[in-house]
Amino acid sequence: MSARAFLDRRAFLRDASTGLGGIALAAILAEQGLLANDRTPLRPTIKPEEPLAPRKSHFAPKAKRVLTIFCSGAVSHVDTFDYKPELVKRDGQPLPGSEKLVTFQGEQGNLTRPLWAFKPRGESGKMVSDLLPNLAAMADEMCFIHSMTAKSNTHGPAENQMSTGFTLDGFPSVGAWVSYALGSENRDLPAFVAIPDPRGVPQVGPNNWGSAFLPAVFQGTPFTADKPIPNLARPAGVSEKADADTRDFLKLLNDDHAKTHASDSQLMARIASYEMAAKMQLRASQVADLTKEPKRIHDEYDTADANKTKAGFARNCLLARRLLERDVRFVQLFNGSYAMGEGVGNWDGHKTLKPQYEKHAAILDQPCAALLADLKRTGLLKDTLVVWVTEFGRMPTFQKGASGRDHNPKGFTVWLAGAGVKRAHSYGATDEFGYTAAEKKATIYDLHATILHLLGLDHERLSFYHNGIERRLTDVHGHAIEDILAE
Amino acid sequence: MKLTQRIAELRKQLTDLGRAQMAYAGRFMTPEVTHRLNRGEATQKKEVVAPGVLTEIGLTISIPENATDAERRAALAKWITDPRHPLTARVIVNRLWQHHFGVGIVDTPSDFGRNGTKPTHPELLDWLASELVNPNHKLGNDVTSWSLKHIHRLIVTSATYRQSSAANAASLAKDAQSRLLWRYPPRRIEAEPIRDAILFVSGKLDLTMGGPGFDLFEPNNNYVKVYTPKKEFGSAEFRRMIYQQKPRMQLDDTFGAFDCPDAGQIAPKRNVSTTPLQALNLLNSNFMLQQAGYFAERVKKDAGSEPEAQVKHAFALAFQRSPSAKERVAALKLVKDHGLMALCRALLNANEFVFVD
């Protein structure tokens, strides 16, 4: 990485040679970035031979690892987690002010009550709809943000924003930033794993786990329970013995070569990478081997359901838990895919929301709830941050002439659970219909700042210098949402 | 009757013409008046400003307010390429140097000056820049000003470039990164040359230049295109990787891991990382296995069926040398136990194969 020379307070104090104790102390503190009000960029030192070596956070973290669950297509918040009694009452009436309203797909019809009944759940009595009954039963674990907003009403840019903080292509994903900042405790597995839905990937696909201008080593490795890491397995035509002997010969070649090139750390790193590859072949195969799990677990997740998609997603959920328990730093689990177009394999219910959502809920609900319960039961939830997201919400009205809801980035719901967030908590609110964020409006910058904060990272200082800009996940915006942080 | 027919025909022709291929086309316009915006606010227009250049860098020029857009662009182009411009030539020759040595004389190729690092050899940088603009040191060729080839020739025929990469402890202690070029800095080559080199050694490389590129992903017409890497490859894919149709966000599943940049981003300098995923790709991918097979076939064809000769030839093709006694013995055993292809697979994975030194 290029060293950037600039005159700053830190350098000045270090170079000043008066020898006074106070200045020396200040210099030491400045070196460590510990002076109060020090806002200088903190760029982790990456060793090219060990780019994923674990690194310290800026301050004590609450979470050691993150699981994001991305329901792609835009889940309707008014039909799931955002209870609006006024929407129920005024069902069939126009949304006030909707004559001038322009939304993504065109004219709006009337306000339509949630298509599933809302009921109080758990000890907290949180109102969650019947669409996702198993997840609803876990409501006490959840910390809702009901006032989330997005900058775009279009899937591509909005997916980009939720996953990378920017609506444009070409920015690193949250997982890449976290890998860059913290490395990984487990070098036998990728630091950042993306698990696409069995039906395919969301619209901007690899952008969701890409590294963009961060070093490529920090990108997510996509694989699922049914599609292993590419090139992980020994090739079909090569026997185990042949493979082992070939690697031994390779090591001989490399060791001899290294003797006459004693200085080159890159050579040693490459030799080490082949050893790590061998370990990864073993460990990645092991982690994906779900037969090791007891029947009771398989039943809870429902990994053998007659619905092949649900079963596939369930296996992905179980894979996610296994990755997390092996300290994979960032797991990004997807539900929904764009391969088949609008609403068919994802939550984009423009025209026929009810039958589509019944299908999708059947796939999401049980396995996802089982995953959350499993994290709690194993104790992983204590130091794992779970973040359930979607790219934006949907309208409280039906589209004119259709039985579905249009895009709505003005107010929607995400929830967090686990390390460092309050249980059974709700932050912010939309207006009485669920149309627009009205109280304690939150942005995706805030969400990202909060995630980094829980990992012990200052979102304003974690940066990477690129193209003349001190780049940040949160650009120049956002603040950690104090209100949702547990004591 | 004929006339009505004729009218109908002409009407149809008109409609057909109207359905011709649509194109997005730009239109030249008179440039709008530009105001200085107070605090960058679009609603706070202050005085009118004429087009100009960065006056802190090099020459001042004056572009009249009423210059047409073509005149403005021409003036900018002339300013950038003026021989007296302090940056243009230096930045270009620095990039060329970077491609030959792995790191430029200035190692922040897109940041010269305050935001970047200082040149390790400022006089060299200046000299190369002046050679680009005003070539003096002609190597017996017809060299014109701004010839990149001239700079390439100067670099690769220089004593510096032709140095050995052998290390010694004293120099390492002073300059481990070889920034002062006391030796040729060894480094791993980039993704594209690795693939090209493999094809070269297997004898499959098609050096045809130009024309449409090739695709490393299966054809797919989905609403949102799905990029499934090809599992089988034919002669169409055996061209240099620079001819790969590169989708912006999707990297090749074998070579992408070797620090290919995201194609939606500018990347003045690539990172160099070493990861186990790279190792897995080179060991296990279909492409590699197939090429190891072709490599073995070529060796058999060239060197015959005697393992001794085969081993010698395989080393010659991959490493341009003979195997050491130790390597010979080990290689022969590998070939005897598992066939020539096993040896070829190992050679293509070796450090010596992917490092230039």
Owner of token pair 């005697």? B306
CA distance A246 to A278: 12
Please judge whether B117 and A234 are an interchain contact, meaning their C-beta atoms are less than 8 angstroms apart: no
pLDDT-derived band at A299 (thresholds 50, 70, 90) equals very high
Q: What is the pLDDT of residue B18?
A: 80
User: Among partner residues A5, A246, A267, which is closest to B338 by beta-carbon distance?
Assistant: A246
Quote the minimal CA–CA distance from B101 to chain A in Å: 15
Assign A18 a pLDDT band (cuts: 50, 70, 90). Answer: very low
Q: Which residue has the higher pLDDT, B23 or B137?
A: B23
Structure tokens at B84: 């007296």
Are the beta carbons of B247 and B263 closer than 8 angstroms? yes
- The sign one gets for the Cα dihedral A203, A208, A211, A217 is negative
pLDDT in tens, A232-279: 999 998 999 999 999 999 999 999 998 888 767 788 889 989 999 999
In percent, the amount of chain B with pLDDT more than 70 equals: 99
CA distance B33 to chain A (A): 29
Q: Which has the closest alpha carbon to A461: A124, A16, A32, A28? A: A32
Instruction: Confirm if A390 and A414 have CB atoms less than 8 A apart.
Output: yes
Mean pLDDT calculated for residue range A85-91: 97
Pairs of residues, one from chain A and one from chain B, whose beta carbons lie less than 8 Å apart:
205
Nearest CB among B284, B337, B355 relative to A234 is that of B284
- Are residues B223 and A338, on separate chains, in Cβ contact within 8 Å? yes
Phi, psi of A70 (to 5 degrees): -105, 110
**A270 is a domain residue:** no
Minimal C-alpha gap between B254 and chain A (Å): 8
Alpha-carbon gap, residue B136 to A411, rounded angstroms: 67
- Tokens standing for residue A105: 């797909």
Of chain B, the end-to-end C-alpha distance in Å amounts to 84
> DSSP of B218-235, one letter per residue?
-----SS---PBPS---G
Average pLDDT over chain B reads 92
Comparing A340 with B352, the larger pLDDT belongs to B352
| DSSP structure class, residue A155 | H
Q: Is the pLDDT of residue A108 over 60?
A: yes
Residue among A4, A171, A214, A250 with most chain B CBs within 10 A, to mutate: A250
Verify that A309 and A184 share a domain, yes or no: yes
Same-domain pairing of A23 and A83: no
Residues in chain B closer than 8 A to A348 (CB atoms): none
**Comparing A162 with A106, which gets the higher pLDDT?**
A162
Tell me: do A199 and A133 sit in the same domain.
yes
Residues A72 and A33 in one domain: no
Instruction: Kindly determine whether residue B273 and residue A217, on different chains, have CB atoms separated by under 8 Å.
Output: yes
The DSSP bridge partners found for residue A439 are A429
Q: Is residue B169 scored above 90 in pLDDT?
A: no
Query: Which residue matches tokens 């004429």?
Result: B50
B273 phi and psi angles, rounded to 5 deg:
-120, 160
Counting residues of chain A whose pLDDT is more than 90, the rounded percentage is 75
pLDDT digits (tens, 9 = 90+) for B211-251: 999 999 999 887 777 788 999 999 999 999 999 999 887 88
Q: H or E element: which one contains A194?
A: strand A192-195
User: Nearest residue on chain B to A1, judged by CA atoms?
Assistant: B271
Which residue of chain B comes nearest to A272, CA vs CA? B276
Domain CATH for A356: 3.40.720.10
Question: Which residue's entry shows tokens 């390429």?
Answer: B81
CA B106 to chain CA centroid, Å, is 19
User: In the predicted model, what is the mean pLDDT of residues A335-357?
Assistant: 91
Q: Are residues A196 and A306 located together in one domain of the fold?
A: yes
Residue A205 confidence (pLDDT): 86
| A198 & A347 share domain | yes
Return the pLDDT at A7: 43
Query: Interhelix angle for B325-338 vs A240-259, to 10°?
Result: 170
A398, part of any domain: yes
- Contact residues on chain A for B277, CB-CB shorter than 8 A: 190, 221, 229, 277, 280
A90 with A221, same domain: the answer is: yes
Residue type, B35: H
CB contact under 8 A, B274 and A51: yes
Nearest to A206 among B249, B265, B280 (CB): B249
The dihedral built from the CA positions of residue B349, B350, B351 and B352, taken in this order, carries a sign that is negative
B302-316: average pLDDT: 97
Q: ipTM of the assembly?
A: 0.86
pLDDT at B142: 72
For residue B37, give the nearest of B25, B48, B46 by alpha carbon.
Answer: B46
Give contacts of B350 with chain A, Cβ < 8 Å. Answer: 250, 253-254, 257
Task: Kindly tell me the burial class for residue B205, based on how many C-beta atoms sit within 10 Å of its own C-beta (0-12, 13-18, 19 or more).
Answer: middle
Is the pLDDT score of A83 beyond 50?
yes
Length of chain A: 487
pTM confidence score: 0.83
CB-CB contact of A178 with A58 (8 Å): no
Are the beta carbons of A390 and A407 closer than 8 angstroms? no
* Length of chain B in terms of residues written: 357
In which band, very low, low, confident or very high, does the pLDDT at A366 lie, cut at 50, 70 and 90? very high
Whole-angstrom Cα distance, residue A29 to residue A22?
A: 11
| A33 & A72 share domain | no
User: B326 vs A213: CB contact, 8 Å cut-off?
Assistant: no
DSSP state of B176: T
Q: What is the mean pLDDT of chain A?
A: 91
The residue ranges of every structural domain in chain B are 88-174, 191-357
User: Measuring CA to CA, which residue among B46, B195, B262 is closest to residue A213?
Assistant: B262
Residue of A nearest to B353 (CA): A254
B110·A467 Cβ contact <8 A: yes
B300 pLDDT higher than 90: yes
B319 Cβ neighbours under 8 A, 6+ residues apart: B347, B350, B352, B353
B106 SS3 class: coil
Domain that holds residue A31: 1-40
Question: What are the Cα distances from residue B81, in Å, to B77, B91, B105, B242?
Answer: 6, 12, 21, 28
Same domain (yes/no): A10, A157: no
Residue A11 has pLDDT above 50, yes or no: no
- The whole-number pLDDT of residue A2 equals 38
Is B117–A241 a contact, with Cβ atoms under 8 angstroms apart?
no
Q: Based on the domain organization, do A195 and A92 belong to the same domain?
A: yes
Does residue A339 surpass a pLDDT of 80? Answer: no
Count structural domains, chain A: 2
Minimal Cα–Cα distance from A233 to chain B, Å?
7
| A6-10, A401-405, B81-85, B326-330: the lowest-pLDDT one | A6-10
| Contact yes or no for B115 and A2 at CB 8 A | no
Q: Which residue has the higher pLDDT, A15 or B89?
A: B89
Cβ(A416)–Cβ(A363) below 8 Å: no
- Check pLDDT > 70 for residue B155: yes
Residue A207 and residue A159 in contact, taking contact as beta carbons nearer than 8 Å: yes
Best CA proximity match to B124, nearest among B149, B150, B80, B154: B154
Q: Given pLDDT bands bounded at 50, 70 and 90, which one contains residue A26? A: low
CB contact under 8 A, B110 and A4: no
Four-point Cα dihedral B248, B251, B256, B261, nearest 10: 20
Taking CA–CA distances from A262, the nearest residue in chain B reads B167
Q: What is the DSSP letter of A99?
A: G
Question: Which residues of chain B are within 8 Å of residue A200 when distances are taken between CB atoms?
Answer: 224, 226
Residue B139: predicted pLDDT: 62
Mean pLDDT of the region B42-71: 88
Taking the C-alpha atoms of residue A165 and residue A159, their distance in angstroms, rounded to an integer, is 9
> From the CB of residue A355, how many other CB atoms can be counted at a distance below 10 Å?
11
Q: For residue A388, what are the β-bridge partners?
A: A69, A415
> Are residues B327 and A253, on separate chains, in Cβ contact within 8 Å?
yes
Q: For an interface test with A, which of B174, B183, B262 has the most A Cβ atoms less than 10 Å from its Cβ?
A: B262
Put simply, the answer to whether A200 touches B226 (Cβ < 8 Å) is yes
